[in-house]
Chains A and B, each alone.
Chain A
Amino acid sequence: MSTKLSKDFTIVVAGQAGQGIESVASVLAHILKKQGFHTYVAKDVMSRVRGGMNSIMLRVSNHRSDAYCEKIDLFVPLDPRAYEHYSKRFTKDTIYLGVDDPENGEGKKKRDVIAVNFLQIAHDVGNRIFANTIAAGAILGVLGTDQEVGTHYLRSFFQRKGEDIVEKNITAFNQGFTIGEHASFQEDIVVTLTPKNDVEDYVFLSGAEAIGFGALAGGCNFISSYPMSPATGILTFLAQNGKECGVLVEQATDEIGAINMTIGASYAGARGIVTTSGGGFDLMTEAVSLSAIIETPIVVHIAQRPGPATGLPTRTGQEDLALARHGGHGEFARAIFTPGTPDQMYELTAHALDLADKYQIPVFILTDQLMMDSLYCVPHSALSKKNVQHYVEKTDETYKRYLLTDDGISPRGIPGHGNGLVHADSDEHTEDGRITEDMEFLRKEMVEKRLFKRKEHLMSCALAPDVSGNKKGSTLIVCWGSNKGVVEEAVSLSKNPDLKVAHFTQVYPLHKSVAGMLGSAHKVIVVENNATGQFADILEVETGEVVHERLGKWNGEPFSVEELTATFKK
């Protein structure tokens, strides 16, 4: 057998929950980066802490390719049941490195497997925990990478755990590496993918960390949230780094408490964010409505997963757009951002915090499980310092929290800053923030400022979609959020000259160019991870234009490059 890995290739490490496949992926990604390769890591995990069947996909290339692929070039099973679980993703060229296929028995051979019993070798080295390091070594051996770079990385990575741990890991790594190197020679596996070495200044961030860093850069100094997959990573990240960065982090005891506490802090001048998933956001919606009527900023990050109710807790979906668009009773203005890359997650989280403060409104960031749990390699230069604007004003004795102004924005005072009094009232209120039932004048004015005037502001600064593909193509492929990479790559691979792509980082309200863009296309196809076409609905309602095809996927898996390429070729 002779196999060439000349283009970007995909490694899948599969095993039970608790076998440590995530640490294999992290070690591999870091060592490959040091050799000049880009790596994108996506997780496929079951909702359990132990057992089951999980895998990690590493896509290795010499440029950024942050999209999910189905095909597996190098399959590394730590558990024999993995073969059955992932068989539909194997190709005729797939290399198998790991425990043997249980269907390979006496007298029959289904697959040509480079059989390595990682656990047995780990046991011989001294502890089964080294199985991960051996697997990482074997993979890097197969790929013919520089062994020294690997051992050097491991030395620095395990340094704080003591010399004994360092040495044992290096022994384990070298044993794995030798096995891989030998197999590579025997099986004639050749990697001709050339590194570009532009990756040196890149940083590794999970999607959750990209949102977390964006929150920090955007001046967030308060978060209270309740753990819920896949949104918890932001709470964890800020808890780990909060003190150093001046963020007050409090794990609430439910989502209602989380958002009300954060709105309370925001009323007192903090810049707050909450992170949750669809079910948790259901509980928060009354407080979103509160934020709107008391004109107190809040940023809500919703990491989507498939519902209804508990649904598929560790899988991905884009089913909560309609909820974010409409959640909360009554009528008021809001903005919804849907970043598609880690750079955009960083940028738009900071932007959302600014916009919420500037217009004193609820602002949403929608991501999903795929993005949250992916590990990205991102240029550090794309994650720049932010100039955080402050919109709080010092009050005097004449201060009125809901003063009617021409632009609909009342100066935002906070308690304890100035001599004025700050009255926040969830009832319809006077300019001074006291209950009123003046329906002739005040009610109309307050709706005008909260809904119409604010929506105007938001529309004037709405983000235009990113356009790619053939900009003159007559078929417009629309996507939002995490489908950016996969749609753009599939359009490119399809070589269909008729396709133009529009990726939306802001799905509400829409940029003024959108109606024209839709109207001038012969055919509009909206790609999204839900069954009904929730963004297609928004597009039709907001622009009056027609969406011709709703291309949905709602089984909990992300779109793959292969399936979209096949669709776009037609």
Chain B
Amino acid sequence: MIRAAQENKNTPKQFDVPQDVDNQWCPGCGNFPILMTLKKALTDAGCTPTNTTFVSGIGQAAKTPQYMNSHFFNGLHGRALPVATGIKAANPDLNVMVASGDGDIYGEGGGHLIHTIRRNPNITVIVHDNMIYGLTKGQAAPTSRKGLITPTQPRGVYDEPINPLTLAISLDAPFVARANAGDPKQAQEIITAAINHKGFSLVDIFQACVVFNKKNTYQWFNEHSYTLGPDHDASDRNQAFARASEEDSFPLGILYQHDRRDVFEDMVGVYDDDKRPLYQRETNQDVIQALLSTRK
């Protein structure tokens, strides 16, 4: 096992789980190409299993870390982002990745998304967007298109779908992109760029649910998306917002990217004079005693 790890160093195989894992995804699931893409993108970005922590919530996409050879924290439904923020804050040396689904990040965890973008920790968030709930068997997701008939929306979805990209751009997220699992090469380039970007990076990645969403298939995603051309200026917020608003044919690529915002872990104070992660530090009892003395 250790020898295999040596051989696989610096290849995507370093992220393969060395032992047999009982994968719970359906055959043909869009999560498979995303998993492969993630391993390649991480390797391209120079990440290793021991410096990478995957965080997820609950759902089929949220099982991604289970099939990844790295640290992971598979927590509660909707709560991946505060956990990821806490990990990054306690140890900024770690490369912190979130891989979870549209229901987890945009639905149950929607509030955390807003405030995590405001906080801007240097983490990369990959949202598997299949416009449906898979694990609970086919109910509407926050990204489900209007009219989609599901077991719990028999008259069709009537809520307006969330547009995660315009939401993120409106909050001035420093890296906002969309990829398509059906185009792994482009997806990999986008994710590598997201990992390399310092600050909160959101990648919404289209993915087909072959069992519960018969409408938004691989083919549908291919037919309803286009790749942003070289004329798109990703540093221009207005242009990014205009593009991100397009929903007849969805733009793929990096919509918005800038470095105008401070990063959370640089602002919290404890790393100003001491770069060591929190676990390496000792409490200075003398400082506490001196502080107590001021209360006389």
Interface, chain A (partner B; CB < 8 A): 200-205, 209, 213, 216-217, 219, 221-222, 224, 241-250, 252-254, 256-258, 260-272, 286-287, 290, 294, 380, 383, 385-386, 388, 392, 397, 414-417, 419-427, 433-435
Partner of B72, one of A222, A247, A250, A423: A423
Q: List the A side residues contacting B1 at CB < 8 Å.
A: 397
Q: List the B side residues contacting A261 at CB < 8 Å.
A: 82-83, 85-86, 89
B180-188, B189-197, B198-206, B282-290 - the one binding chain A: B282-290
- Minimal beta-carbon separation of A485 from chain B (angstroms): 20
B90-98, B146-154, B155-163 - the one binding chain A: B90-98
Partner of A247, one of B2, B71, B270: B270
Partner of A415, one of B87, B278, B285: B87
Task: Give Cα A271 to B283, complex, Å.
Answer: 11
* Additional A-B contact list (18), CB under 8 Å, known A244-B291, A253-B111, A256-B79: A200-B296, A201-B296, A202-B296, A209-B295, A243-B270, A247-B270, A248-B270, A254-B111, A263-B83, A265-B278, A270-B86, A286-B76, A290-B75, A386-B285, A414-B91, A416-B51, A421-B50, A426-B74
B62-70, B229-237, B253-261 - the one binding chain A: B62-70
- Minimal beta-carbon separation of A492 from chain B (angstroms): 29
CB pair B79 A287 closer than 8 Å: yes
Report B258-292 residues with CB < 8 Å from chain A CB. 268-270, 272, 274, 277-279, 281-289, 291-292
- Minimal beta-carbon separation of B54 from chain A (angstroms): 10
- Minimal beta-carbon separation of B75 from chain A (angstroms): 5
CB pair B86 A416 closer than 8 Å: no
Given A243-B269, A264-B55, is A248 in contact with B90 using a C-beta cutoff of 8 Å?
yes
CB pair B287 A424 closer than 8 Å: no
Q: List the B side residues contacting A419 at CB < 8 Å.
A: 50
Q: List the B side residues contacting A269 at CB < 8 Å.
A: 90-91, 277-279
Indicate if B174 sits at the interface (CB-CB under 8 A): no
- Minimal beta-carbon separation of A543 from chain B (angstroms): 35
Partner of A417, one of B55, B82, B279, B295: B279
Given A203-B295, A270-B278, A416-B51, is A264 in contact with B84 using a C-beta cutoff of 8 Å?
yes
CB pair A262 B86 closer than 8 Å: yes
Indicate if B242 sits at the interface (CB-CB under 8 A): no
Q: List the A side residues contacting B2 at CB < 8 Å.
A: 397
Could you list some 13 contacts between A and B, CB below 8 A? A213-B288, A216-B283, A216-B291, A222-B86, A248-B89, A264-B82, A264-B84, A265-B86, A286-B76, A385-B286, A421-B50, A435-B63, A435-B74
Task: Give Cα A419 to B49, complex, Å.
Answer: 9
Q: List the A side residues contacting B87 at CB < 8 Å.
A: 264-265, 267-268, 415
CB pair B279 A268 closer than 8 Å: yes
CB pair A415 B291 closer than 8 Å: no
Task: Give Cα A253 to B50, complex, Å.
Answer: 31
CB pair A424 B73 closer than 8 Å: yes
Task: Give Cα A205 to B288, complex, Å.
Answer: 13
Indicate if B136 sits at the interface (CB-CB under 8 A): no
Indicate if B13 sits at the interface (CB-CB under 8 A): no
Task: Give Cα A538 to B285, complex, Å.
Answer: 37
Q: List the A side residues contacting B284 at CB < 8 Å.
A: 245-246
Given A216-B283, A221-B283, A397-B5, is A267 in contact with B293 using a C-beta cutoff of 8 Å?
no
CB pair B283 A260 closer than 8 Å: no
By CB atoms of chain A within 10 A, which of B73, B115, B284 has the most? B73
Q: List the A side residues contacting B72 at CB < 8 Å.
A: 421, 423-425, 433
Partner of B288, one of A217, A224, A248, A417: A217
Q: List the B side residues contacting A392 at CB < 8 Å.
A: 279
Q: List the B side residues contacting A241 at CB < 8 Å.
A: 291
- Minimal beta-carbon separation of B111 from chain A (angstroms): 7
Q: List the B side residues contacting A427 at CB < 8 Å.
A: 74
Task: Give Cα A252 to B72, complex, Å.
Answer: 23
Partner of B89, one of A222, A385, A423: A222
CB pair A435 B283 closer than 8 Å: no
Task: Give Cα A425 to B65, complex, Å.
Answer: 10
Which residue of chain B is the closest to A267 with respect to CB atoms?
A: B73
Report B25-64 residues with CB < 8 Å from chain A CB. 49-51, 53, 55, 58, 63
Task: Give Cα A203 to B74, complex, Å.
Answer: 45
Closest 6 CB pairs of A and B: A264-B86, A269-B279, A264-B83, A265-B86, A415-B71, A268-B90
Task: Give Cα A148 to B153, complex, Å.
Answer: 78
Task: Give Cα A219 to B284, complex, Å.
Answer: 9
Indicate if B219 sits at the interface (CB-CB under 8 A): no
Task: Give Cα A423 to B269, complex, Å.
Answer: 29
Q: List the A side residues contacting B283 at CB < 8 Å.
A: 216-217, 219, 221, 245-246, 386, 388
CB pair A423 B71 closer than 8 Å: yes
Partner of B269, one of A248, A263, A271: A248
CB pair B270 A268 closer than 8 Å: no
- Minimal beta-carbon separation of B129 from chain A (angstroms): 22
Given A246-B284, A268-B90, A268-B277, is A421 in contact with B73 using a C-beta cutoff of 8 Å?
no
By CB atoms of chain B within 10 A, which of A242, A249, A287, A426 has the most? A426
Task: Give Cα A245 to B269, complex, Å.
Answer: 11
Q: List the B side residues contacting A221 at CB < 8 Å.
A: 270, 278, 281, 283
Q: List the A side residues contacting B66 at CB < 8 Å.
A: 425, 434-435
Q: List the B side residues contacting A257 at CB < 8 Å.
A: 79, 81-82, 111-112, 115
CB pair B82 A248 closer than 8 Å: no
- Minimal beta-carbon separation of B62 from chain A (angstroms): 10
Which residue of chain A is the closest to B295 with respect to CB atoms?
A: A203
By CB atoms of chain A within 10 A, which of B49, B63, B85, B93 has the most? B85
Q: List the A side residues contacting B55 at CB < 8 Å.
A: 264
Task: Give Cα A202 to B93, complex, Å.
Answer: 43
- Minimal beta-carbon separation of B135 from chain A (angstroms): 12
- Minimal beta-carbon separation of A263 from chain B (angstroms): 7
By CB atoms of chain A within 10 A, which of B71, B90, B285 has the most? B90
Q: List the B side residues contacting A271 at CB < 8 Å.
A: 278
CB pair B292 A268 closer than 8 Å: no
CB pair A252 B292 closer than 8 Å: no
Q: List the A side residues contacting B112 at CB < 8 Å.
A: 253, 256-257
Partner of B90, one of A204, A264, A294, A380: A264
Given A268-B91, A269-B279, is A216 in contact with B288 using a C-beta cutoff of 8 Å?
yes
Which residue of chain B is the closest to A296 with respect to CB atoms?
A: B73
Given A221-B278, A248-B278, A434-B66, is A425 in contact with B74 using a C-beta cutoff of 8 Å?
yes
- Minimal beta-carbon separation of B103 from chain A (angstroms): 16
CB pair B82 A415 closer than 8 Å: no
Which residue of chain A is the closest to B108 with respect to CB atoms?
A: A256
